[in-house]
């Protein structure tokens, strides 16, 4: 269980996150949804102390994270980066096995774990494990990114717009894979995105952020039924508006002409 208790973060005079409180239950996937500058990524990074809060507390299963050593805390929390961040001088196997090796796992155990994870993210372990990251496609690289985050068997997974830079087809397939993995492993996860469709598809609950504050939090259905304010309403209407637009275009065009 993750508890964010009155978290605030200032950068100079700017308030990035303002008095935010949230609880993520065990096995739950919470989506942090918001536009650029809404404070969603800052919030995510305060959970594993990549950013220290100006005030407020983060508790994991009741333990205040400020009492833990930062790098040890991070080894227990999987993190998937928006810019993927695979180390270009390490092979795929070394990238996936990096956190277990920091934890001092045996070589054989790491090797087994890496193969298992590559399979989990639907990559051919034999074909990719000794390659370097730049020999893989963007979609394959992010699958590796997810595998790396899961390598040390973390109970918590943090994802920072992990599929944002991928083409729509690849993104669709990765979302599907991720849903299955999450279900299989029963992970507690916080997933940052600005894509409402993605949020609706993946989230158990959605927390909408705006200007550093929490606008509303609830299950997708609750948000759709009773949006708290105009900001939330606008966010929720985007996918519906897009769907209507597509439908309209398809209706006008009719079936594709045949020779």
Partner 1 sequence: MSALREQLALLPAYLTGHLELSLLAIAIATGASIPLGVLATRVAWLEGPVLAIAGVVQTIPGLALLAAVVPLLAALGFQSIGFLPAIIGLTLYGVLPILRNTVAGIDSVDPALKEAARGVGMTDGQQLRRVELPLAMPVIVAGIRTATVWTVGMATLSTPVGATSLGNYIFAGLQTRNYTAVLVGSVAAAALALVLDGLVHGLESGLRRRRRGMVALALASLVVLYGYTAWSLARDARGARARPIVVGAKTFTEQYVVAEVLAGWIERTTGLPTRVAPSLGSTVAFDALRNGDIDVYVDYTGTLWTTILRRQEPPASREAAIDQIGRFLASQGGMVLVAPLGFENAYALAMRDRDAEARGLRTIGDLARVSAELSMGGDYEFFERPEWRSLERAYGLRFGSRRTMDPSLLYQAVALGNVDAISAYTTDGRIAALHLRVLDDDRHAIPPYDAVILASARLAREHPDAIAALARLQGAIDARAMREANREVDEDGRTPRQVASDIVARIAGATPEPARGD
Residues of this chain that interact with partner 1 (CB under 8 A) are 48, 50, 71-72, 74-75, 79, 81, 83, 85-89, 98-99, 102-103, 148, 152
72 or 229: CB nearest partner 1:
72
CB of 96 to partner 1, least distance (A): 10
User: At closest approach, how far in Å is the CB of 79 from partner 1?
Assistant: 4
Nearer to partner 1, 90 or 224 (CB): 90
Spatial CA neighbour of 192 closest among 65, 50, 6:
50
Looking at the Cβ atoms of 74 and 113, the one nearer to partner 1 is 74
Question: Cβ 70 to partner 1, closest distance in Å?
Answer: 8
Pick the closer one to partner 1 by CB: 157 or 196.
Answer: 157
Q: Could you give the angle at which helices 107-120 and 138-150 cross, rounded to 10 degrees?
A: 130
Q: Tell me how far, at minimum, the Cβ of 150 lies from partner 1, in Å.
A: 12
Query: What does the alpha-carbon distance between residue 139 and residue 170 come to, in Å, rounded to a whole number?
Result: 6
Phi, psi dihedral angles at 11 (to 5 degrees): -115, 105
Q: Return the number of the residue (158 or 206) whose C-beta is nearest partner 1.
A: 158
Q: Cα 78–79–80 angle (5° rounding)?
A: 125
**Is residue 4 helix, strand or coil?**
strand
- Residue 152 makes CB contacts below 8 A (sequence gap 6+) with 75, 76, 78, 99, 100, 103
Nearer to partner 1, 148 or 171 (CB): 148
CB atoms within 10 A of CB 13: 5
CB of 257 to partner 1, least distance (A): 47
Length of the chain: 259
58 close to 65: Cβ distance less than 8 angstroms: yes
Backbone angles phi, psi at 186, to 5 degrees: 60, 45
Smallest separation (angstroms) from partner 1 to the CB of 81:
6
Token pair 């669709």 in the structure block, residue: 172
Closest CA to 178 of 193, 159, 165, 196: 159
Nearer to partner 1, 2 or 236 (CB): 2
User: Rounded to the nearest whole angstrom, what is the least distance from the CB of residue 156 to partner 1 in the complex?
Assistant: 13
């Amino acid at each position: 269980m993750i508890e964010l208790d009155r978290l605030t973060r200032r950068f100079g005079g700017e308030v990035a996150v303002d008095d935010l409180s949230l609880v993520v239950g065990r096995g739950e996937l919470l989506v942090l949804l918001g536009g650029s500058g809404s404070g969603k990524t800052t919030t995510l990074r305060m959970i594993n102390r990549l950013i220290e809060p100006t005030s407020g507390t983060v508790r994991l299963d009741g333990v205040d994270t400020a009492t833990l050593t930062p790098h040890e805390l991070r080894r227990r929390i999987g993190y998937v980066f928006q810019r993927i961040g695979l180390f270009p001088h390490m092979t795929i196997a070394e990238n996936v096995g990096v956190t277990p090796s920091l934890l001092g796992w045996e070589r054989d155990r790491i090797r087994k774990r890496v193969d298992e994870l590559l399979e989990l993210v639907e990559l051919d372990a034999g074909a990719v494990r000794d390659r370097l990251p730049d020999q893989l496609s963007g979609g394959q690289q992010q699958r590796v990114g997810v595998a790396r985050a899961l390598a040390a068997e973390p109970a918590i997974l943090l994802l920072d717009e992990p599929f944002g830079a991928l083409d729509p087809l690849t993104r669709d397939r990765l979302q599907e894979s991720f849903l299955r993995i999450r279900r299989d492993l029963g992970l507690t996860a916080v997933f940052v995105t600005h894509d409402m469709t993605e949020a609706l598809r993946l989230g158990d609950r959605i927390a909408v952020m705006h200007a550093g504050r929490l606008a509303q939090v609830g299950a997708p259905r609750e948000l759709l039924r009773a949006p708290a304010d105009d900001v939330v309403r606008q966010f929720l209407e985007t996918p519906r508006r897009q769907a209507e637009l597509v439908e309209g275009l398809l209706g006008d065009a009719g079936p594709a002409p045949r020779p």
